[in-house]
Amino acid sequence: MSEEIYPIHEAYVPQRDNNKMGFWVFLSGEVILFGTLIGSFMLFRHRNPEQFAEVTATLNIPLIALNTFILILSSFLVVRALESLRNGSLKGLRLNLIGVLVLGALFLGGQAYEWIELRNHGIWLDSAFGTPFFTTTGIHGTHVFIGLLWVIFILIGIGKGAYSKQRFHGVEVFGLYWHFVDVVWIVLFTLFYLI
Amino acid sequence: MTTQTGTFPYMRRAEKSKFLSWALTTDHKRIGILYLVTAFFFFLVGGIEALLIRLQLAAPGAEVLGPDAYNQVFTMHGMTMIFLGAMPIAIGFANYMVPLMIGAKDMVFPKLNALSYWMFIFGGIFMYSSFLLGGAPDKGWFAYAPMTMPAYSPGMRMDFWALGVIVLVVSSTVGSINIIVTILQMRARGMRITQVPMFVWNMLITSFIGVFAFPSVLVAAALLLLDRQLGTQFFNTGAGGDAMLWQHIFWFFGHPEVYILILPAMGIMSEVVPVFSRKPLFGFTIIAFSTAAIGVLSFMVWAHHMFSTGMSQIALLFFAADSFLIGVPTGIKIFSWLATMWGGKIRFTTSMLFAMGFIVMFVIGGITGIHVASVPLDWQVTDSYYVVGHFHYVLFGGTILGFLAGLFYWFPKMSGRLLGERMGKLSFWTIMIGMNMVFLPMHYLGLAGMPRRVYTYPADAGWAFWNMFETWGAFITATGFLFIIINIVMTLRRPATHEADPWDGYTLEWATSSPPPPENFDSLPPVRSRRPLWDAKHPDMADTH
């Protein structure tokens, strides 16, 4: 053995950076998940052009455009929430996150309204349009719902003193998730409603 | 400073009970052993299923299982070997060895590590509980639509398949993320990413393949459940869906999965061959690039499983060409191992024998792989025993032999005891003779027209002799594994020698005691090259000179 021995270091990289990197890797897998779903939607459209043209014409685009705006606004609030926390304002963090909670719930409400409308028009899971449409937007909606649970989790954490000017990384990672879900929605809105 | 070894708050109480101290552990070495033991158990179950298959096929018209049970057994044989055997064995080795080889004291997310293990065992038990609850999945491991649709598969069998797959791939995804971040963030001071041992590098690439491939099969299983339970029409061609969609989504995962199964074993090869040849790995950089190339190409070859489905000419050409191409980085590895051995002072330990067996067997599987990658030949042999012979040479002759090389190589590190060499060599030769008796005649049977997944065959087809021969081979192979189990049990009954570095190794896992203390290292040699321990032991011949 060599004479030269290095001491063991506790950690070479702070754990919070590891959490963030792990989450990025997770999100790269999510890209494949939504990519597969979107690919299936495109295949169904290619196979059933008439039905897709017909249903797309009846979609409530103003409602969903409003929904898209709501989701983008909520992403903006997440940015502000993190900003407030880094400036040391727990009140700002709490208010902005409550805003996210309200906007996210509005988004899900809008989506539920749209689904009921479509169902009343006879478009449901067993149709060629409905099969990929409800599945993809449903899985996206589930992501929004999980995000809202996460917000509630953070709000409870604020009360327990889990966040401070220095400890903002939990909110930062939540922000990554929320922005990702937002971006996915913008892609879905473009592909499913506008094109 | 954050501590890397997470412990549950009630851990102190748990330490008093031996059972609880294992059940609640977050130590990567214990989780690694749990993975290896559990996966080896499932591997034996899958092996027993293989023996049942061989008994059923031993003679024409045999009634050992009958058609319904046969379909369940061959499906579960495939599912078990892939999801509950080979993949978790690789994760087990990675769990134990990756932190040691990069000089870390644990995985980066110890609690997530425990979570992935417990999800894995839950998924395995869940899938096997189907045998008691109306029958196991019976549509083959790739579960083609429309056979899996409610009309053709009533009952819950395929729901068990889909839910089990979802649990197991979530577990594997969590494990993959953990391995990736551990390798990228936890390396010892001075160890550059280009200096990690080849096993670590292969696990990094394997885990990335997993992160990108698993979501695809997750979606496939979820859509299958929706079709079966909520009335969507994804795979119902008659209602605007497409049965081919299943094949595309499944194989977009399924082919990368093949590399998820082989790359860890190739990583073990790249550790074992240099150490027992007393030379550094030949062409380290080229091997590292070839692994990365395999990782990229593995996502571009999936439709070669679908040549006979009437794809367009251009798609056939594209996927055939890509499949030929992926043979190149694979061949590079073979040549590098041979060149590593060339001129080396080879020590013929059991571990090295298994590694050399890997090279010969994998080349056979690789060459038949080139055969089935060529479209006209594939049209002739697809869904025949030729294909079964091909992938067993890769997965048994490659993955399993690689794992056995790893077992004999690393067992002393995990237990502080060397496995018996005489018994080891006996098991090596038994397994080699047995596996070739089983899998080599499959090529002939396939060319002679025997289709795969049939529960019996006519007496006048001329397939009876080789089928009986294969069944004998299967039992000889099983005897070889019996020798390995006896070897392990007898070794564990002997007192431990705790030799830190029995093979005169190169990499950091040999720089600590056997088995290592809870936090792995008291001190580390400086890392300035790819063989830090060699440098420390031979300063006059260090790689950095």
Known catalytic residue at B259: yes
- Chain B residues whose beta carbon lies within 8 Å of the beta carbon of residue A11: 1-4, 186
In this structure, is residue B10 part of a structural domain? no
Question: Residue A50: which domain range?
Answer: 15-194
Find out whether B148 and B158 touch, Cβ atoms under 8 Å.
yes
Reported as a pLDDT band with limits 50, 70 and 90, residue A10 is very low
Kindly report, residue by residue over A65-117, the tens digit of the pLDDT: 999 999 999 999 999 999 999 999 999 999 999 999 999 999 999 999 999 99
* B430: its two tokens: 């038994």
Q: Which residue of A has its CA nearest to B219?
A: A33
In this structure, is residue B16 part of a structural domain? no
Identify from B245, B519, B537 which residue to disrupt to test chain A contact, counting A C-beta atoms within 10 A and taking the largest count: B245
In this structure, is residue B503 part of a structural domain? yes
Q: Domain containing B105 — which CATH number?
A: 1.20.210.10
pLDDT of residue B522: 86
Shortest Cα distance from A125 to chain B (angstroms)? Answer: 5
Active-site entry in B70, B141, B246, B510: B141
In this structure, is residue A136 part of a structural domain? yes
Kindly report, residue by residue over B353-382, the tens digit of the pLDDT: 999 999 999 999 999 999 999 999 999 999
For range B98-102, the mean pLDDT = 97
Distances (CA, A) of A13 to A20, B104, B184, B521: 12, 11, 10, 18
pLDDT of residue B86: 97
Task: Say what percent of chain B tops pLDDT 70.
Answer: 97
* B403: its two tokens: 């794992």
In this structure, is residue B2 part of a structural domain? no
Shortest Cα distance from B517 to chain A (angstroms)? Answer: 14
| Neighbouring residues of B520: CB distance < 8 A, sequence distance ≥ 6 | B29, B99, B100, B103, B104, B105, B106, B512
Reported as a pLDDT band with limits 50, 70 and 90, residue A17 is confident
In this structure, is residue B314 part of a structural domain? yes
Q: Is A3 exposed, middle or buried (0-12, 13-18, 19+ CB in 10 A)?
A: exposed
Q: Measure the CA–CA gap between A51 and A61, rounded to whole angstroms.
A: 17
pLDDT of residue B425: 98
- Neighbouring CB atoms inside 10 A of B293's CB total 17
| pTM of the entire predicted model | 0.95
Task: Say what percent of chain B tops pLDDT 90.
Answer: 92
State CA B98 to chain mean position distance: 16
pLDDT higher than threshold 90 for residue B9? no
Reported as a pLDDT band with limits 50, 70 and 90, residue A135 is very high
In this structure, is residue A77 part of a structural domain? yes
Kindly report, residue by residue over B277-325, the tens digit of the pLDDT: 999 999 999 999 999 999 999 999 999 999 999 999 999 999 999 999 9
Q: How many CB pairs below 8 Å do chains A and B form together?
A: 137
- Neighbouring CB atoms inside 10 A of B129's CB total 12
Known catalytic residue at B330: yes
Altogether, the residues listed in chain B come to a count of 545
Q: Measure the CA–CA gap between B490 and B447, rounded to whole angstroms.
A: 44
Known catalytic residue at B304: yes
pLDDT of residue A15: 78
- Count: domains in chain A: 1
pLDDT of residue A16: 80
On whether any CB of chain B is under 8 Å from the CB of A10, the answer is: yes
pLDDT higher than threshold 90 for residue B14? no
pLDDT of residue B545: 53
Do the chains contact at A135 and B226, CB–CB below 8 Å?
Answer: yes
In this structure, is residue A161 part of a structural domain? yes
- What Rg value do the Cα atoms of chain B yield, rounded? 23
In this structure, is residue A8 part of a structural domain? no
Phi/psi at A6 (5° precision) = -90, 145
In this structure, is residue B13 part of a structural domain? no
Known catalytic residue at B201: no
Known catalytic residue at B392: no
Do the chains contact at B233 and A128, CB–CB below 8 Å?
Answer: yes
In this structure, is residue A81 part of a structural domain? yes
In this structure, is residue B244 part of a structural domain? yes
- Chain A residues whose beta carbon lies within 8 Å of the beta carbon of residue B220: 36
Taking alpha carbons only, the member of B382, B395, B241, B226 closest to residue B316 is B382
Average pLDDT value for chain B: 95
In this structure, is residue A6 part of a structural domain? no
On whether any CB of chain B is under 8 Å from the CB of A79, the answer is: no
Q: Which residue of B has its CA nearest to A13?
A: B185
Kindly report, residue by residue over B495-514, the tens digit of the pLDDT: 999 999 999 999 999 999 99
Segment holding A93, helix H or strand E? helix A90-120
In this structure, is residue B323 part of a structural domain? yes
Place of tokens 């063991």: A8
Do the chains contact at A127 and B105, CB–CB below 8 Å?
Answer: no
- What Rg value do the Cα atoms of chain A yield, rounded? 21
What are the beta bridge partners of residue A6?
Answer: B524
Shortest Cα distance from A173 to chain B (angstroms)? Answer: 15
Q: Which residue of A has its CA nearest to B225?
A: A135
For range B144-158, the mean pLDDT = 94
Q: Domain containing A143 — which CATH number?
A: 1.20.120.80
Question: Residue B152: which domain range?
Answer: 28-541
- Count: domains in chain B: 1
